[in-house]
């Protein structure tokens, strides 16, 4: 997208409302489990204190057994709760990702064609697969650890104060400084993660494109150039990761340093207090253990912090897509036409891709139901754009297009497009068999309907020669077929779809003269009774059209039937005689 990505757009409140609140049950259970687990973890230091202060001096064997039982019980509880925690929260997090991915993909498919003109396929793949992945941490154990960590720290703090307020004060100062500094540091890391998403998308986008265009790369011996571009991309990715690694490891290391300094200081203060008789051995041991428990989550926080930072960055980028308006975002396309007759009218239609550069200017014509309208003109004159307007892939900037008298912009896309068929010059076939590709618009069609379409489009003339016939696999985008074969499959697909409105955009341009004459008759049958827009370079395809529009720089230069236009001796005559000569 050309739009500059905004950083940190998703607020905590929004994430809470859309991600956390709907999963409150699982998260609540997760939090209860983590509280139990953390409380159980605190048994060990307490038991150590009793061991030092009560069991050993009094040689109390019975108490010793109780202590051992308590410690073992606490450890078992910890093991069980941490297992259950992962089961509940991690599974829910994965569930969230798969739902979110499906949502993002569904949204992307509903975006207008213009969006796809301006966005790389690989970038969208990266949005769906990589960016969404980061969101996992909002629900997963990262969140639970954060909450559990804060809780443990607070409880330990209370226990530390209870043992020795003086020593607690000593350790608290550096910890507070660390907390403030690390919060600031995480604020700085979030844009780095966000940027990573952008770079990732660009690199994936370029990679997808270059792998798809490998024939052109090899054909022009451009491997070195592509390798360099990719290398630059992954280097940018590396530098980004390095930046965030440096920041997070600085935080972790300074926390470790802090813990060390605190411990050294505690040894001094504690040792002195024991000598003065102000502190027992057990208190000292419990204090150091609790201190460890209090600081460990703070150290861990850098990890969790970067996980959550990544989650927000991912959510930001996912939201960008989800906030891009879909085709009928205002819900104004409410007219349902279940049986389209097929009267299409353009009334003073204007359209521009880029502001100020009109590609279609003041086009008006009527295409009565069942008629064939041919669009001819030089390349770049606007024929495909007019056809895209008729298909409602694009909307007019000015003027209206009507179908059966209704403004096309108010007709439900579902009801319109389910009665529309499109065959394009470089028509898209999907990985799979020839049969799958023909059945694509109507997977439930009967075998005899399929066979009819196959025969009408002269597909069986070449599939008969294949060992697997219609079940032959055609490779990605149909690369294992010739252009003419691909086009005949696309025509069979349109015949099977049986649309009311048909758009053929240079559908026969890949056929050699022989196959063209072969399918000319079936194309004629396909067009029969349907409102058809046919764009063809070969004038032989359009001689029979009910009306021919000669398009020049986005305007209708001439309009009429073949004989009339020939008689005019104008633009059409020139195009026709020029082609007849070659
Ligand atoms: P034709 O089908 O007659 O060859 P098109 O309708 O494809 O012509 O294109 C008409 C003009 O619109 C051309 O100048 C072309 O460069 C421009 N154009 C086509 N598609 C786009 C697009 N997606 N974005 C911007 N300009 C476009
Ligand atoms: Mg075109």
The pLDDT score that the predictor gives to residue 3 is 37
Count of the separate structural domains present in the chain? 2
Per the structure, the complete domain to which residue 164 belongs is given by 12-322
Q: Are 313 and 452 in the same domain?
A: no
| Section 71-83 average pLDDT | 93
Q: Which bound ligand lies closest to the C-alpha atom of 380?
A: 1
Give, in degrees to the nearest 5, the angle at Cα 342 between 338 and 343. Answer: 125
Q: Are 85 and 217 in the same domain?
A: yes
| Residue 522 within a domain | no
Q: Are 441 and 315 in the same domain?
A: no
| Residue 220 within a domain | yes
pLDDT band at 1 (very low <50, low <70, confident <90, very high): very low
Q: What is the token pair recorded at 242?
A: 């390095």
Which residue, of 279, 306, 322, is where some domain finishes? 322
The pLDDT score that the predictor gives to residue 580 is 57
Q: What is the token pair recorded at 11?
A: 């607020």
* pLDDT exceeds 80 at position 294: yes
Which residue, of 271, 295, 322, is where some domain finishes? 322
CATH number of the domain to which 33 belongs = 1.20.1560.10
| Residue 340 within a domain | no
The pLDDT score that the predictor gives to residue 513 is 67
Tell me how far apart the alpha carbons of residues 550 and 388 are, in angstroms, rounded to a whole number: 17
- Among 352, 356, 380, the mutation site with the greatest number of ligand 1 atoms within 8 A of its Cβ is 380
Q: Are 442 and 312 in the same domain?
A: no
| Residue 508 within a domain | no
| Residue 20 within a domain | yes
CATH number of the domain to which 446 belongs = 3.40.50.300
Using a 6 Å cutoff on CB, does residue 388 contact ligand 1? no
Q: Is the dihedral of CA 298, 300, 303, 305 positive or negative?
A: negative
The pLDDT score that the predictor gives to residue 107 is 92
Tell me how far apart the alpha carbons of residues 164 and 142 are, in angstroms, rounded to a whole number: 32
Using a 6 Å cutoff on CB, does residue 501 contact ligand 1? no
Using a 6 Å cutoff on CB, does residue 113 contact ligand 1? no
List, for residues 542-575, the tens digit of each pLDDT value. Answer: 888 999 999 999 999 999 999 999 999 999 988 8
* Cα(381) to centroid(ligand 2), Å: 8
Q: Are 311 and 452 in the same domain?
A: no
- Candidate ranges 276-290, 306-320, 354-368; pick with highest mean pLDDT: 354-368
| Residue 126 within a domain | yes
Locate the ligand 1 atom nearest the alpha carbon of residue 382 and give its number. 6
pTM of the model: 0.78
List, for residues 93-116, the tens digit of each pLDDT value. Answer: 888 899 989 999 999 999 999 899
| Residue 523 within a domain | no
The pLDDT score that the predictor gives to residue 7 is 37
* pLDDT exceeds 80 at position 30: yes
Instruction: Give the closest residue (by CA) to ligand 1 atom 23.
Output: 117
**What percentage of the chain reaches a pLDDT higher than 90?**
39
List, for residues 455-488, the tens digit of each pLDDT value. Answer: 888 888 888 899 899 999 988 777 788 888 888 8
Comparing 221-235, 266-280, 514-528, which segment has the lowest mean pLDDT? 514-528
Which residue, of 439, 465, 498, is where some domain finishes? 498
Using a 6 Å cutoff on CB, does residue 381 contact ligand 1? yes
Instruction: Give the closest residue (by CA) to ligand 1 atom 15.
Output: 380
Tell me how far apart the alpha carbons of residues 228 and 230 are, in angstroms, rounded to a whole number: 5
| Section 276-303 average pLDDT | 84
* pLDDT exceeds 60 at position 2: no
pLDDT band at 514 (very low <50, low <70, confident <90, very high): low
| Predicted ipTM of the assembly | 0.98
- Candidate ranges 121-125, 214-218, 440-444; pick with highest mean pLDDT: 440-444
Using a 6 Å cutoff on CB, does residue 554 contact ligand 1? no
Tell me how far apart the alpha carbons of residues 152 and 179 are, in angstroms, rounded to a whole number: 15
| Residue 434 within a domain | yes
Q: Residue 266: CB partners within 8 Å, gap ≥ 6?
A: 167, 170, 171, 287, 288, 291
In 3D space, the residue among 272, 316, 271, 304 whose CA is nearest the CA of residue 127 turns out to be 316
């Amino acid at each position: 997208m050309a739009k500059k990505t905004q950083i940190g757009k998703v607020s905590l409140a929004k994430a809470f409302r859309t991600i956390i609140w709907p999963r409150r049950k699982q998260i609540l259970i997760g939090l209860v489990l983590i509280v139990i687990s953390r409380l159980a973890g605190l048994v060990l230091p307490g038991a150590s204190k009793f061991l030092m202060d009560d069991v050993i001096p009094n040689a109390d064997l019975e108490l010793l057994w109780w202590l051992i039982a308590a410690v073992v019980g606490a450890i078992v509880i910890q093991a069980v709760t941490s297992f259950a925690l992962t089961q509940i929260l991690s599974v829910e997090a994965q569930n969230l990702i798969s739902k979110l991915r499906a949502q993002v993909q569904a949204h992307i498919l509903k975006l207008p064609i213009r969006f796809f003109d301006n966005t790389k396929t690989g970038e969208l793949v990266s949005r769906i697969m990589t960016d969404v992945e980061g969101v996992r941490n909002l629900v997963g154990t990262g969140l639970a650890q954060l909450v559990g960590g804060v809780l443990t720290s607070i409880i330990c703090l209370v226990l530390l104060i209870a043992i020795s307020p003086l020593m607690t004060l000593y350790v608290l100062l550096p910890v507070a400084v660390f907390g403030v500094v690390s919060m600031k540091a995480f604020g700085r890391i979030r844009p780095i993660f966000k940027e990573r998403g952008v770079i990732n998308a660009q690199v994936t986008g370029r990679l997808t494109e270059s792998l798809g265009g490998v024939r052109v790369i090899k054909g022009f011996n451009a491997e070195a150039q592509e390798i360099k571009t990719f290398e630059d991309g992954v280097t940018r990715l590396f530098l980004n990761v390095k930046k965030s690694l440096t920041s997070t490891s600085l935080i972790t290391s300074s926390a470790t340093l802090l813990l060390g300094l605190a411990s050294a200081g505690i040894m001094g203060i504690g040792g002195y207090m024991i000598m003065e008789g102000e502190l027992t051995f057990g208190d000292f041991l419990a204090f150091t253990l609790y201190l460890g428990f209090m600081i460990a989550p703070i150290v861990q926080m850098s990890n969790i912090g970067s996980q959550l930072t990544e989650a927000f960055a991912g959510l930001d980028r996912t939201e960008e897509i989800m906030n891009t308006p879909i085709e009928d975002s205002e819900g104004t396309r409410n007219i349902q036409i279940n049986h389209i007759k097929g009267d299409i009218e353009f009334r003073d239609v204007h359209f521009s891709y880029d502001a100020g550069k009109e590609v279609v200017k003041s086009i008006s014509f009527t295409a009565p139901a069942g008629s064939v309208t041919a669009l001819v003109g030089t390349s770049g004159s606007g024929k495909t754009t007019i056809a895209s307007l008729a298909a409602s892939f694009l909307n007019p900037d000015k003027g209206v297009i009507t179908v059966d008298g209704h403004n096309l912009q108010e007709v439900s896309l579902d009801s319109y497009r389910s009665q529309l068929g499109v065959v394009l010059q470089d028509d898209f076939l999907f990985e799979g068999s020839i049969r799958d590709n023909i059945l694509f618009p109507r997977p439930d069609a009967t075998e005899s309907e399929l066979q009819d379409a196959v025969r009408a489009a002269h597909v069986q003339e070449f599939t008969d020669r294949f060992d697997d016939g219609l079940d032959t696999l055609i490779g990605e985008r149909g690369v294992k077929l010739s252009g003419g074969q691909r086009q005949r499959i696309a025509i069979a697909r349109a015949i099977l779809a049986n649309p009311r409105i048909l758009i053929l955009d240079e559908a026969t341009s890949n056929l050699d003269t022989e196959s063209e004459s072969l399918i000319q008759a079936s194309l004629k049958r396909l067009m029969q009774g349907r409102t058809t827009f046919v764009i063809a370079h070969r004038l032989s395809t359009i001689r029979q059209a009910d009306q021919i529009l000669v398009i020049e720089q986005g305007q209708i230069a001439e309009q009429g039937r073949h004989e009339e236009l020939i008689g005019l001796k104008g633009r059409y005559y020139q195009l026709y005689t020029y082609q007849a000569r070659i």
